[in-house]
Amino acid sequence: MTAQKPATSAAEGSPRAARDIVVVFDFGSQVSRLIVRRLRAIGVYSELLACTATVEEVTQARPAAVVLSGGPSSVYEEGAPHIRRDVWNLLLRKKFHPEVTHTPCGAALLRNFAQRIARLELTWNMQHFLPEQIQRLKEQVGSAPVVGALSGGVDSTVAAALLHKAIGDSFHGFLIDTGLLRKNEAADTLVALRECFPSLDIECIDASAKFYAALDGVTDPEKKRKIIGALFIEVFEDAVKQKNLNTQGTYLLQGTLYPDVIESKSYKGPSHTIKTHHNVGGLPERMHLQVLEPLRDLFKDEVRVMGRALGLPEERIERHPFPGPGLAVRIIGAITPQRVKVLQEADAIFIQEIVKAGLYKRCERVSRGDRVSGGFCWSWDCALFQAFAVLLPECQSVGVMGDGRTYEATCALRAVETSDFMTADWFRMPLDVLAVASSRITNEVRGINRVVYDISSKPPATIEWE
């Protein structure tokens, strides 16, 4: 950790303006972004830069203090990453991890560093940021039209609410039903969005037949993701063209979050592609749209806080994450309308039982010894963050229904607890909840006669099966 005098003032029109900032230099650590989150949680605005950042990049950030986050490389290795000597002026160092949840009084240590050593003001909170962002959007967009894909998830809903607050009804939203959504997802989401934004132009497009046809016979998960991503762009592009908008002067709303921005700033060593992320990459260039990313400075928890400040209903804000490719990555093997329907029913039952048990909504908990300010988010201990069902392939087993023999599919139930989604542990679901869910699924869902519970952690497993 290093405290230093602020450099030249930050650019106007960004969260850096008129705030004390802590810059976290990333040397490749898996927990670098956690330091950023913990500092924001106590009310200090923080950003992440690669350890190789130039003097100009650091000066532009106007840091009042910096934190050096380590990495896997040894300082004795040839080509080991290092920070430029003229970037910082060392005053204080520490060598452990106050940002992780199991460190006693970790948040208190970060608070003392920020307030007592670096003498920073705790100005990073929603009361300040929300009106600033609304004003920025008004100035940036003006009366220009904005288009965007709405999924009913937290990010797209909060982005639409923020934009609606800033520019009114100049936004055109498209809800694309891929046929791979959860049970009744398209209809329920459309109703919820129209309740939130009665005057907003929202159109639902049923493209399920196109997606089923494109995925026919495809079993490789990477191929599934790429097919879905490409077809999603095609359907969205056609929908926008139907509006007869001048794309040269139109903005594309995207729900980019700060972790996405971090990926382009972090120090990167050799890595492998685990999974391709589903997004609308390439769409702005193809359609000559200007990208609008009003949430790019926020973490997921901060987006939820913004949603509450904008008056969105709690059930919209607290929804569990859902993958962009939808149920396609939760159906192992080939995708068919029948297999999708089977999984939709099983997944709906599992979530119903979790809700009945009062486990669906996360609880705000603080590590002992930590004090949390009225900033953006809480210091989260682990709680249930995501739960879903998975339909297994070519994994039929013998069962008994009534007096008859069955030979049907196996369903896996998955629930995880995590504070950051970088690592996750399997959730210790009460056995009575699992028992009821299993009984209901095998009795009510035609095509499943066996239910198992996934107790794999991340790593080595990933949260999603594909």
* Positions at the binding site for ATP: 151-157
Check if the beta carbon of residue 189 is closer than 8 Å to that of residue 202.
Answer: no
Rounded to whole angstroms, how far apart are CA atoms 77 and 460? 27
Q: What angle do CA 264, 256, 31 make, to 5 degrees?
A: 50
Question: How does DSSP assign 39-69, residue by residue?
Answer: HHHTT-EEEEEETT--HHHHHHH-EEEEEEE
Rounded to whole angstroms, how far apart are CA atoms 13 and 296? 13
Give the phi and the psi of residue 30 in degrees, each rounded to 5.
Answer: -75, -15
Query: Is 181:209 a contact under the CB 8 Å cutoff?
Result: no
Distance CA 451, CA 446 (A): 13
8 Å CB contact between 425 and 382: yes
Structure-block tokens of residue 132 = 């600033």
Residue 258 contacts residue 296 (beta carbons within 8 Å): yes
CB 440 within 8 A of CB 363: no
Binding site per annotation, positions: 151-157
